[in-house]
Amino acid sequence: MPPSSTPKQRRRTPKSCLNCRRRKLKCDRQHPCSRCKERSERCVFAEGQEVGDASPEANDQSRCTTSRESVNLTTNGSKKPSEIVETTQKKIEFYGWKTFLELVRSKKPDYKANPKFRCLERNNARISVPLPEEILAFFPPYFVSKALVEQYLDTTNELFPIFYRPELENYLMALQVSGLYSIPSDGILLLLCIINHVLEAIDLPLEARNYFASIDYKPSDLSEMITNAVDGYVSNMKQCENVGNITKIQYFIAQALYNMKKRMRGVNIALCQSINLSIRVTPIYQLDNVSNEVNTDLWLTICEIDAMEHIFKSRNCWVQRDVFGRLQPRRNFFSDEKTFQYHTLLGKLLNCGLDIQKAVHTSTVQEYLGKLNDFDVDLSLILTSIESLFFGVCDSANIFRYDFLRLIFWAIRKNLYQCFLTVEHEKLPEPNQIFEKLAIACIQACRITTSSYENFIRFDLLRIASLESITCLLILPFCQERGFRLPNDCIEMVYNVKNINSIIQNEEHVREGVEYMLDFILSTMESNPSKYLDMESDHFSDDPLKFFSDMFSIPPSFFFFQHQP
């Protein structure tokens, strides 16, 4: 029997560079790698990669090495015609999303050195162009301006961080000590932006109410003039691409938030503008695992507003859901731990809501039914965290955060089951249980709005809460038809929503339209027909469901399969 020959041990070729292997660091395997580039060292890989080898493993490694070198050459723009022909005949390695991030990040210094690309530091500069005198004339007295700005910082800015409190407090101090002309142009623009939005709030500070009562002037009139003047100035400023970008981003985010809270229909153009400008300053794909980008916190606010537009109004998202999922709030963004935890839970809620909306539009009925339990568990865990975080709070800011998170929770839970209104009973395993959960979610959302409407007024979110309540009330009669027994206080709840609608400062036709819809809801719940059937108006001769969908840009089929436009 011949002696057995021992198989040759194939030596594995190291894939990391020599410097990273010596320091026991993770190498990204680029040629040169990012660590060697940072240290300005020569990046040398194993000799086995340079010496020809007939083994399949070496051939694969050689192909990978060649493909990396070809990509680097392509990025640097240094390919020669002969190299292009040679590269087209070689197998190119697939680059995943994470590899692409690393590749782009490693090329950022080259971008800064290249005059063809914008420099991020220059893009982040503030405005240095003086403002026109007509804009300065709109400034209210100091004590009024201070009260309006402080109310915004204490309410809206606590929920949606857009402006930096120390910066604005310095502007107010300069306004008090040295006058308006001592404030830089970007400071005046930001202060006017805040004053403009607070002037349209329902609950103005006492100083502002007394001031406008003494001059016999409406706050809404001053707000309209400020809007026209500032919008025109910002539009002209768009020509200067490298001036005041951070200021313009903050301005557009504030306008996008206003549109989300106040405008019931139409596309949120300001949100699109803030995203477009932010991409030019700090592209969102560069924010993955980056800790010092200047407007990462602003990106987080943009994504939160974008997700709420989708959840509350069924609008298409500008920012992709997987990108928003990678943006996590960091502790240094916020002044206290409670605020940081609030935004962490808000991000989890919005992520879950976007996942549900995506599943609704991409899954079959049976596939979606299989995901219900997972979504239910995820939402229940988030609700438990909300209850734990805000247990025993007594200050108004945290009480409202608690109410607002619960409103979003029940709105998302409503969205989870709402699509089954258009599904035949035969295709549902337990239809009564599904419609019961849907009705409970609608009732809970309405009760949060009606019981905490004073806080929603203070934080200037009453209109979005009222819109969600009307949507929920429209669904309840259809749940009743499917066997759910409405609670005894449902009619009282509709009247409470009617009272809330009378507080909101809507345009006349919008106010009448919402009133008409609420009367229609009452007619479906009461034994006697409501007065809406006797209303004589040319505006409301159509089907009330179609009127509602036209008013809020929501297709009727999203709610009810019986009423097609």
Write the CA distances from 329 to 192, 338, 339, 344, integer angstroms.
28, 12, 10, 6
Alpha carbon of residue 180 to chain centroid: 34
| pLDDT of the residue at 314 | 78
Alpha carbons 303 and 309: distance in angstroms, whole number = 10
d(CA 477, CA 444): 15
**Residue at which a domain ends, from 237, 271, 294:** 237
* Span between the terminal Cα atoms of the chain, in Å: 88
* Phi and psi angles of residue 313, each rounded to the nearest 5 degrees, phi first: -120, 5
Residue 452 lies in a domain: yes
Q: What is the pLDDT along the chain (565 residues), one digit of tens a residue?
A: 445 455 555 556 777 888 888 777 888 888 788 888 777 777 877 654 433 343 444 444 444 444 434 434 444 444 444 444 444 443 333 334 444 445 444 444 443 333 333 333 334 445 555 677 778 888 889 999 999 999 999 999 988 989 988 899 999 999 999 888 888 888 888 999 999 999 988 889 999 999 998 887 888 888 888 888 888 777 766 555 545 678 888 999 999 999 998 887 778 889 988 888 887 776 665 544 444 445 677 888 888 899 898 888 877 777 765 555 556 677 767 778 888 899 889 989 998 998 898 888 888 888 888 899 999 999 999 999 999 999 988 888 899 999 999 999 999 999 999 888 777 777 888 888 888 999 999 999 999 999 999 999 999 999 999 989 988 998 888 888 888 888 888 889 999 999 998 888 777 777 777 888 888 888 888 765 444 444 444 544 456 666 666 666 555 444 443 333 3
Give the Cα separation of 556 and 287 in Å (integer): 39
Residues 58 and 159 reside in one and the same domain: no
Is residue 327 within 8 Å of 278, Cβ to Cβ? no
- Residue 349 forms part of a structural domain: yes
- Count of CA atoms in the C-beta half-sphere (13 A) of 385: 18
Q: Does a structural domain hold residue 392?
A: yes
| Cα 65 from Cα 77, distance rounded (Å) | 18
Q: Which of 117, 146, 166 is the last residue of a domain?
A: 117
Domain housing 421 = 329-558
The answer to whether residue 367 sits within a structural domain is yes
What is the value of pTM for the model shown? 0.72
The DSSP call for residue 544 is H
**Does residue 503 share a domain with residue 363?**
yes
* One-letter identity of residue 222: L
Task: For residues 366 and 473, state if they share a domain.
Answer: yes
Same-domain check for residues 170 and 89: no
Residues 494 and 345 in one domain: yes
Torsion over CA: 261, 267, 270, 276 (sign):
positive
Question: Does 424 reside within a domain?
Answer: yes
Instruction: Calculate the alpha carbon distances from 111 to 104, 243, 476 in Å.
Output: 10, 19, 57
**CB of 204 within 8 A of CB of 185?**
no
Residues 455 and 512 in one domain: yes
SS (H, E, C) 449-500: HHHCHHHHHHCCCHHHHHHHHHHHHHHHHHHHHCCCCCCCCHHHHHHHHHHH
222 and 196 in a common domain: yes
Which 3 state secondary structure label does DSSP give 94? coil
Looking at the structure, tell me whether residues 178 and 87 fall in a common domain: no
Is residue 126, in this structure, part of any structural domain at all? Answer: no
Q: Cα angle at 507 between 502 and 512, to 5 degrees?
A: 55
294 located within any domain: no
Classify 226 as helix, strand or coil. helix
DSSP state of 537: -
Q: Is the same domain home to 218 and 350?
A: no
Tracing tokens 């890989």 back to the chain, one arrives at 45
In this structure, are 180 and 75 located in the same domain?
Answer: no
Amino acid at 258: Y
- 73-108: pLDDT as tens digits: 444 444 444 444 444 443 333 334 444 445 444 444
Contact predicate 431/479, CB 8 Å = no
Quick one: 224 and 102 in the same domain? no
pLDDT of residue 444: 95
| Inside any domain, residue 162 | yes
Residues 428 and 503 in one domain: yes
Domain final position from 217, 237, 257? 237
The pair of three-digit structure tokens given for residue 66, joined into one six-digit string: 């060649």
DSSP letters for 302-343 = HHHHHHHHHHHH-PPPSS-HHHHHH----GGGSSSHHHHHHH
SS3 275: helix
Nearest to 521 by CA among 489, 479, 477, 457: 477
- Give the chain's domain count: 3
- Backbone φ, ψ for residue 550 (5° rounding): -70, -40
